[in-house]
Amino acid sequence: MAEAQGGRSLVVDAVTHRYPSGALAVENINLDIKGGEIIALLGPSGCGKTTLLRIIAGFIAQTQGRIIIGDDIVDTLPPNRRAVGIVFQNYALFPHLSISENVAYGLAARGIDKATRQREAQRLLDLVQLPTMSERLPRQLSGGQQQRVALARALAIKPSILLLDEPFAALDKNLRLDMQIEVKRLQRVSGITTLIVTHDQEEALSMADRVAVLSQGKLEQFGSPSDVYDRPQTLFVNTFVGASNRMPGVVVSADRTAAKVRLDAGAEIIARPASGALTEGGRVTVCIRPEHLQFVGDETGFAGVVGMSLPLGATVVHEVTTADGSGVKISQARIGETRTLESGAAVRLAPLAPSLANAFPTTL
Amino acid sequence: MGAAPASRDVTSYGMGLAVPLALFFLVFFVAPLLQLLWLSLHNDTAALHWGLGQYLHFLTDPFSLSVLGSTLLLGAEVTAVCLVLGFPIAWLYQRVGPRLQTIIILIVLLPLLTSVVVRTFAWIVILGRQGIINATLQSLGIINTPLKLLYTQFGVVIALAQVQMPLMTLPLITALSRIDSNLDDASCSLGAGSWRTFFKIVLPLSLPGVIAGCTLTYAAAITAFITQSLIGGGQMLFMPMYLYQQASTLQNWPFASAISIIFLLAVLAVVSVFTTLGRMSRGYGGA
């Protein structure tokens, strides 16, 4: 699709970075990113995603491994020779330069003549839909407008890779959605391989072609948004991406595609072994999302007592305490008059389908 | 603006607190200044005859004008030396670890913790005919006869630059620390080398600190009576010493007053040039 316009591939090859103190910031990260893809680096703060971004940009020299952009190993290139465009979390616009000077800054650094620079800056400001702002100073613009300028400035140098560091974190919710759509539109137009660093899972899932989930410096999973959401490979991914109930249990029987698990909460259910085969008799943690649970009228599933019901608009979330004392959340779509449950009511819960429960071996 | 009445209350409260200081200034600064002005407008030492004679005398006397000129030049030279030497220190401060930062701050502040007299005498020891510099150069065989360093313009500039350095470095450190470090990274990622980043981003954004530092250093350097007199000796005459001679030795108080007023106006003129430059610098950086 957009590859025709020359987005370059990006390979992160076995990159490890160690702080001077000896602590690992990122450990053996491998990413193979095709030209024109949008990739999200998703993880909680401190997971190493920003370090990885700064390694790709060239601000940090990694301890081991290689960064390959297109056909070039760029490890020895300083940031100003890598042609990597960055949009910073706080936009980092030059406060003393006008908007068009900000956008033209990278072109001036490349020795392009003033007339061309101005023409190009205006073209980019048109592209980000700020055609009349060129003479203003950054502080005279709103947050969303500043971000558009930051994007235009990064795109002006025709970067081979575009890096966005928590780009929407400072915007309020409505504006965030507009800007996410805007960034996706610009990315489709320009075809630039794009990396978005974010801790916001919705942002990662909605914007990216593929999502790389990081935790404590390690790559947990790298796959399409539906892979990451529906087929999480690790317990971390299952609980970090989307909400999930964690229910401990013991494997009764297992093959490669399905396992029968006896939950501590008191029911036998069929779950999907998410990270390889499970051993019979081994302890597992079963993850079931609140929206994948249902109330059942018969004797299947596990029993519980309703604690609290929270009507969240489109859905209603009930908190249920199970027989082993752990709390489970169940989310129901609000269709017509959804029955409200009294606190203390006895109910039985079961997963909607076996494939919607994921079992992970419990590591002690 | 619902908060406006409340904030007005707050400021009037603050004004009340400033009254003691305002009174102090009125009695010990404004009143003597007016007295000085009154005195300078008399043609005779007894201050009986009104007239602009003292000012005419100063402005038509080549010697007086040369003293004023050399004093203003001295200030410019000291300020330039402080800026050129102080900026790298302030820049370095932003880029080192906390431990080195403490050391740099200590080195910067150390001159302020010793008396000006002590610091100036140290420079006499360093710059004198048998001083550290001459002794070292002679023992290395680089020079045969001692260089004249003390009682020269060069000596005064160097000594004053060291003595006044904190006044330049501290505002610069403050100004540089206000610059978002992401701007450096942004400039770099856009393809700019470190020199372009410095001249297009760091320097323009640090200009408020540069101007504050220059104003302070300049004002301090031209009025530094002790260092000017001790390092300059009898050969170099600057405005503070000239003023002192007229007032104390020759008892010509009206002329000394006129010198003060002219000196004050000259300094104000230079400071307002700095301030104007600062205001213009908002538009600085246009590529």
User: Which residues from chain B sit within 8 angstroms of residue A154, using beta carbons?
Assistant: 189-190
User: Which residues from chain B sit within 8 angstroms of residue A98, using beta carbons?
Assistant: 286
User: Which residues from chain A sit within 8 angstroms of residue B193, using beta carbons?
Assistant: 80, 109
pLDDT at residue A163 is higher than 90: yes
How far apart are alpha carbons A47 and A50 in whole angstroms? 8
pLDDT digits 0-9 by tens, B190-218: 999 999 999 999 998 998 899 989 999 99
The answer to whether the Cβ–Cβ distance between A101 and B187 falls below 8 Å is: no
Angle at A335 between CA A329 and CA A341, to 5 degrees: 45
The per-residue pLDDT of chain A, averaged, comes to 88
| Residue B32 burial (C-beta neighbours within 10 Å; 0-12, 13-18, 19+) | exposed
The position carrying tokens 């000896």 is A22
Mean local confidence (pLDDT), A82-97: 92
Higher pLDDT, residue B228 or A355: B228
Q: Are strands A259-263 and A267-273 parallel, antiparallel or unpaired?
A: antiparallel
Q: What residues contact residue B71 under an 8 Å CB cut-off, 6+ apart?
A: B222, B238, B239, B240, B263
The answer to whether the Cβ–Cβ distance between B185 and A84 falls below 8 Å is: no
Mean local confidence (pLDDT), A249-261: 88
User: Which residues from chain B sit within 8 angstroms of residue A114, using beta carbons?
Assistant: 287
- How near does any CA of chain B get to the CA of A329, in Å? 42
Note the CATH number of domain B50-283: 1.10.3720.10
pLDDT digits 0-9 by tens, B149-192: 888 888 899 999 988 899 999 999 999 998 998 999 999 999 99
Q: Strand order of the sheet with strand A10-18?
A: A24-33, A10-18, A64-69, A72-73
Q: Which residues pair with A17 in a beta bridge?
A: A26
- Does the structure's ipTM exceed the value 0.85? no
How far apart are alpha carbons A18 and B121 in whole angstroms? 51
3-state secondary structure of B122: helix
| Residue B15 burial (C-beta neighbours within 10 Å; 0-12, 13-18, 19+) | exposed
Q: Are strands A38-42 and A210-215 parallel, antiparallel or unpaired?
A: parallel
Q: Report B:137-196 residues touching A (Cβ under 8 A).
A: 180, 182-183, 185-193, 196
Architecture of the domain spanning A2-235: 3-Layer(aba) Sandwich (3.40)
% of chain A with per-residue pLDDT over 70: 97
3-state secondary structure of A32: strand
Mean local confidence (pLDDT), A170-194: 87
The answer to whether the Cβ–Cβ distance between B183 and A79 falls below 8 Å is: no
The answer to whether the Cβ–Cβ distance between A106 and B185 falls below 8 Å is: no
Q: What residues contact residue A281 under an 8 Å CB cut-off, 6+ apart?
A: A250, A251
C-beta neighbour count of A96 within 10 angstroms: 22
User: Which residues from chain A sit within 8 angstroms of residue B205, using beta carbons?
Assistant: 95-96
Closest CA to A357 of A280, A272, A253, A277: A272
Q: Does B282 touch chain A (CB under 8 A)?
A: yes
The answer to whether the Cβ–Cβ distance between A88 and B185 falls below 8 Å is: yes
| Eight-state DSSP code of residue A290 | G
pLDDT at residue A340 is higher than 80: no
Model confidence at A3, pLDDT cuts 50, 70, 90, reads: very low
Model confidence at A13, pLDDT cuts 50, 70, 90, reads: very high
Domain ranges of chain B: 50-283
Model confidence at A100, pLDDT cuts 50, 70, 90, reads: very high
- Of all residues in chain A, the one with the smallest CA distance to B207 is A96
pLDDT digits 0-9 by tens, A312-333: 888 888 999 988 888 899 998 8
Q: Which of A19, A80, A102, A151 to mutate to test the interface with B (most CBs of B within 10 A)?
A: A80
A243-361: CATH topology is OB fold (Dihydrolipoamide Acetyltransferase, E2P) (2.40.50)
Residue A311: its pLDDT value, please? 83
Q: Specify the range with the lowest mean pLDDT, choosing from A17-21, A233-237, A330-334, B193-197.
A: A330-334
| Residue B189 burial (C-beta neighbours within 10 Å; 0-12, 13-18, 19+) | buried
Sites in chain B below the pLDDT cut of 50: 1-7, 283-287
Domain ranges of chain A: 2-235, 243-361
Q: Specify the range with the lowest mean pLDDT, choosing from A72-76, A244-248, B112-116.
A: B112-116
Residue A168: its pLDDT value, please? 87
Angle at A33 between CA A30 and CA A36, to 5 degrees: 165
Residue A93: its pLDDT value, please? 94
pLDDT at residue A6 is higher than 70: no
pLDDT at residue A123 is higher than 90: yes
| Eight-state DSSP code of residue B114 | S
Residue B51: its pLDDT value, please? 86
